[in-house]
Structure formats: C-alpha cells, structure tokens
Structure 1
Amino acid sequence: MARVALVTGGSRGIGAAISRALAGAGYQVAASYAGNTEAARQFHDQTGIGVFQWDVASFEACAAGVRKVEASLGPIDILVNNAGIVRDATLHRMTKPQWDAVIRTDLDSLFNMCRPLIEGMRARKFGRIINISSINGQKGQIGQTNYAAAKAAELGFTRALALESARSGITVNAICPGYINTEMLAAVPTDVMRGAILPQIPVGRLGEPEEIARAVVFLAADEAGFITGSTLSINGGQHMC
C-alpha cells in the first residue's frame, strides 16, 4: 500500500510542486492550505490530490487536520512542513503582530504538525519529516528578522528531532531554498530582478519549484534512511555553508 504524505501549504507555489512530485512518485498525498479556497479547489481539480483546510499556527487545528487526513488516507508516514508567510519590515518599524504572525506560522507550526504525528511514526518505526527552511535562515536578510529567526530555528528543531527520532526509523531533514520562481517573485520588477537579485546567484537564474520538489522526493524515500539531521541548500551557489 502506498505511503501517505502530507504537505502543508501544499496547494500553491513550492508546496504545489512538492505535492505533485510526491504523487508522481506513487505516494498518496494530502495538501493542506490556509485560506485561498479557490486556488486549493483548482489545484485539486487539476491534480486529484486531496486538499484540507486548517491554520498551521493553531495546535488544535493541526491535530484535527491530521485526524481528518488519516481518516481519509491512512497513517501519515511523510510530513513536509512547507507552510510559511512573510511580514517584512526592518526591526525598528516591525510591529508585534508582524513578529507574532511569522513566528506562529513559520516556527510554531513545526511543533503543531510534528507533535500529533510523532508518536504514530515512532510506533510504526518509520517516518520522514522534511522541513522547508530558507536561505535567509542561514545568512539573514534585511527586513526579515522575524522570518530569518523562524527559519534559522527550524534548522535547530530539525537537528534535535533527528537525534531524538533516529533509533525509531524516523529521519528529519531540512531544505533551504534560495530564490525560487514562484508567484511571489513574479511580482518583483524586472529591473530589480536583473540588477539586484540575479547577480547574487552564481548560476545566473532563479530556481524552479520542481527542483525543490525533487529533493523532497529523494529525502522521503525509504532508501534515504541514512540521511538525517541534514540541511540541503538549493540556492544556485548564492550561499555556501
């Protein structure tokens, strides 16, 4: 029977590419989404992948969402923590709600999603948890103290949970994308893209969502059981560490 994968923020952008790639690799996939019901409906119509709505910033909503997915598809073996938001501002202008929103959605969500699933994975002696962090969690970014803090903390969470879970057949890894060709970057003016962003990337182009998705499929595989606590940087050489 096919393993079940859950992708948070899985109906748009990088998350949609991940959901499609996992489905193409033979997994049963569930994609969660927060609020864009029309985009989620279109994604489901195009792919046949089940979509489930809840707020990853809420522990109770995550626990209820996990129960719905497992009732529909069976026990979740692969969790991709992809959901995230930005609320950019330099710190001297950042509001407490801007800080809180990013920390709750981008960082607290890891606990909110992993906690309802980890005991079942431990009991079954198998699990794959893949956290989508960011290049800006590795190097920082002006105007993103909230986002950079959350994404850097994801890496510490990944390593600690990897150590806790290794003897139970569960791997926990992180991927740090750089600039990826999604609708968010499509809004960047052409002169900014050519003059400020692309010159930072040694390969001279944006990454594609499918390039992140292929890495997720690799880490999700049964054969990737010796890789845990790792951070995979996919940024075209923009930041090496």
Structure 2
Amino acid sequence: MTAPSPPPPLLEARNVQKHFGRVVALREANFTLRPNEVHAIVGDNGAGKSTLIKIISGVYHADSGEIAIDGRPVTIANPREAREFGIETVYQDLALADHLDSSGNLFLGREQLRPPPLSWFGFLDKKAMRRRAQEEMRRLKIGIQSVDQPVLSLSGGQRQAVAVARAIAWGRRIVIMDEPTAALGVRESSMVLELIKEVRSQGLAVIMVSHNLPEVFAVADRITVLRLGRTIVTLDKSETSLEDVVGMMTGALAVAA
C-alpha cells in the first residue's frame, strides 16, 4: 500500500524572475509556504526580498515563472486579487491613517454600513466596527487601552499591532510582514514578535522579511536565503545557525546543490 502524497504547499513561487530595466531583481527565485508556519526570507540589501513579496502580494508582476496556491497556478494581478486569495500584507510604512482610531483603521476601505435605509445614504455602523475591533484586539492579545484612541497617539509597537490586527481580520490564510520591527525599541520589538507567534497560533501562515537575524531565529520555523535575486537555500531553523545564515547571505559559506 503506497503512502498518501503530501499535500501541496499553501503557496509556492516557482522560478520567478523580475527585471527593472537592465537591473535583474529576481532570477530563478523559488519559495514555498506551508500552512501554519512562520517562514522568514532573509538576504542583504538588493537580494530581492521586497521584490518577491511584492510579486506575491500583487504589487509587481513577474516577468516569468509562476505563483501557485494549493498547487494550482494563479494570476495575482493586483493587491485586491491577493486579498481575494486570502493574502494580506503589512508593509514597513504600515499605511495607517493617523487621524483615525484603531477601529477606523481596521475597517479602512472596508467600512461597515448600517442596515437599510441608512446604508443608502452611506451611514457607517460605528458600533459594529468598534465591537469587531475590540474582538480582534482581544483575540490577538493586543494591549491597547481603547480602540477609540487615534493611532497617532499610540507607540510604535502598538501601531504595528493595529496594522497586524487589520491584516489578520481580513487575511484568511497568509500574512506577509515586511521588516515588522524596523525602527522599534527592544520592548516593542518583543511585543511584535509575540504577536507573530500569536498569529501562527490562530492558524495563519506568516511570511516574514527581516534583516534582524536574532529575531528571525526567535520566531521562524523555516528560513529562505536570497542572494543577488536567487534562492540560495531553504532550511528548517533547527538545521542551521545564525552564523551559517550570515555566511550564506554573503556568499562566504557555500551551499551544496
């Protein structure tokens, strides 16, 4: 009796290439994401990390190669289509509206209307949005005093948490986090790392792009190393070390084919 075939990856990038004029940003980049894992993408500046996640999230179009979800090739033409596939992205700039509170940011662009006939005139159901925002903050164990606070008054870690909560609220399967602790202090970075673990515990898969290797080793299950637009290796965290990853990023450590 033959063993059942393993399920396909949740998401896969196959031989992806991307050029910007004469600059080759990605060449033969490969990446797989399993359900319910934190998968870190690391590499020096110019390695292609941001380009790869922007292709996955629909910001850029690959020149060649393909993206597959659940083993089926798909076309992700724009961020809206990425969201339809259950992919949400938290970028470094967070894209928060400072003048709005946490619930307003959670529903930004997805505002919930009151029942007819008030919905015909664009009346928002602020109570329902506030209630949902409180539920999301509680579910992710985010320590914000009130969802009515303008995000401008929140700390850097709290602002990051609001952006992550928005992604989790709408991302059904995959959350991409681009340098999630950039410009944060030690305490706030620790808060965000715990939040990433909580996201995984909620059953979502996380793609994490980071220059901070100690933080990568604190939360990642697997690590993919990019160098000069190519995928060098993908390893379980337990199979490697921080020093070896640095060597693979710089080319000082050769990787067996």
* TM-score class normalised by the smaller sequence: 0.3 to 0.5
In proportion to residue count, which structure has more helix?
Answer: 1
Identify which of structures 1 and 2 has the higher relative contact order when contacts are C-alpha pairs closer than 8 Å and 6+ apart. Answer: 2
- Using structure 2 for the length normalisation, give the TM-score: 0.33
Give the structure with higher Rg (CA).
2
